[in-house]
Amino acid sequence: MTTPDAIPLNDRGLLLGDGLFETMLARDGVIAHLSAHLDRMATSCAVLGLPFDRDAAERAARAAAPAQDRFAIRLTLTAGSGGRGLDRPDAPVVRLFATAAPSSPVIGPATLVVANTRRNEGSPASRLKTLSYLDNVLARAEARAAGADEAVMLNNRGEIACAAAANLFWLADGRLFTPRLDCGVLAGITRARLLAIEPVEEVAVGVEALDRAEAVVLTNSLIGVRPVLRLGDRLLPEHALAARLNAILEI
């Protein structure tokens, strides 16, 4: 493992998106759910066939967290340098580094549109936090062009997958739902915490399921649980779901 001051021009993360990242919330130097983030990166490295030094990753993340205020900590792991072409070296020497950026709490509900950009549920990368995030970038750009905060992404089968930078939950007929992982969904840390403590049905359904939703929320490690005010042209009524889930998660 190397920790560079600058990324060389032959780095596989730079050239091919060959690598992973984690985004974590730090408050006054304490990183929330660091162990769960490291577990996910370790699991993802195993899927991608990359070595992972958990102790080094933890040290890098903790060293990047400022002692005061609220920050987003990004832990990045690339497959290192590999020369020209797709094939990795027989023994990749990964690059691992962490950065911090101020992260103010998100105030107010979100507005959503359904993006044209799709999730490829058949790709293992759709369930990992890889450095190849262009589909999410394009979906978010669609949302911003439409005057919305976030994009609902469907998969190639037309099923609900996620938002561009969040997992998606909705309440219908008094039951809480979220898309299944095999819909091309990232296994979010906040998503997993909710599934562990709250009855949630994991489903594979089309976007029409949201027409019946009484409430829709977004979740990720930085925003916690954020209510949705509008989905396309539909205004959603105020609902206590987000506040209740944030209270359960102690966010």
Same structural domain for residues 182 and 67? no
How much is the pLDDT for 240?
96
Residue with tokens 């962490």: 98
What is the mean pLDDT of the segment spanning 4-8?
A: 79
Residue 48: inside a domain, yes or no?
Answer: yes
Assess whether pLDDT exceeds 90 at residue 84. Answer: no
Residue 6: inside a domain, yes or no?
Answer: no
Same structural domain for residues 77 and 140? no
What is the mean pLDDT of the segment spanning 222-227?
A: 98
Q: How confident is the model at residue 6 (pLDDT cuts 50, 70, 90)?
A: confident
Same structural domain for residues 123 and 219? yes
What is the mean pLDDT of the segment spanning 81-99?
A: 91
Alpha-carbon span 183 to 126, nearest angstrom: 9
CATH of the domain at 62: 3.30.470.10
- Give the pTM: 0.95
Q: What percent of the chain has pLDDT over 70?
A: 98
pLDDT single digits (tens) 39-70: 999 999 999 999 999 999 999 999 999 999 99
Last residue of some domain: 68, 85, 102?
102
pLDDT single digits (tens) 116-162: 999 999 999 999 999 999 999 999 999 999 999 999 999 999 999 99
Assess whether pLDDT exceeds 80 at residue 205. Answer: yes
Q: Which residue range is the domain that position 204 belongs to?
A: 110-249
How much is the pLDDT for 3?
67
CATH of the domain at 233: 3.20.10.10
Same structural domain for residues 229 and 129? yes
Residue 7: inside a domain, yes or no?
Answer: no
How much is the pLDDT for 82?
84
Same structural domain for residues 236 and 134? yes
Same structural domain for residues 97 and 139? no
Same structural domain for residues 58 and 139? no
Same structural domain for residues 200 and 182? yes
Number of structural domains found in the chain: 2
Using CA atoms in the order 43, 194, 245, 220, what is the torsion angle rounded to 10 degrees? 20
Residue 5: inside a domain, yes or no?
Answer: no
Residue 40: inside a domain, yes or no?
Answer: yes
Q: Where are the beta strands (DSSP E) in the chain?
A: 19-27, 30-31, 70-78, 95-102, 110-114, 150-154, 160-163, 167-172, 175-179, 201-203, 215-220, 224-231, 234-235
Assess whether pLDDT exceeds 80 at residue 1. Answer: no
Same structural domain for residues 50 and 92? yes
Same structural domain for residues 26 and 144? no
Last residue of some domain: 102, 119, 146?
102
Residue 29: inside a domain, yes or no?
Answer: yes
Alpha-carbon span 150 to 165, nearest angstrom: 8
Q: How confident is the model at residue 2 (pLDDT cuts 50, 70, 90)?
A: low
Assess whether pLDDT exceeds 80 at residue 248. Answer: yes
Q: Assign 45 to helix, strand or coil.
A: helix
Same structural domain for residues 117 and 181? yes
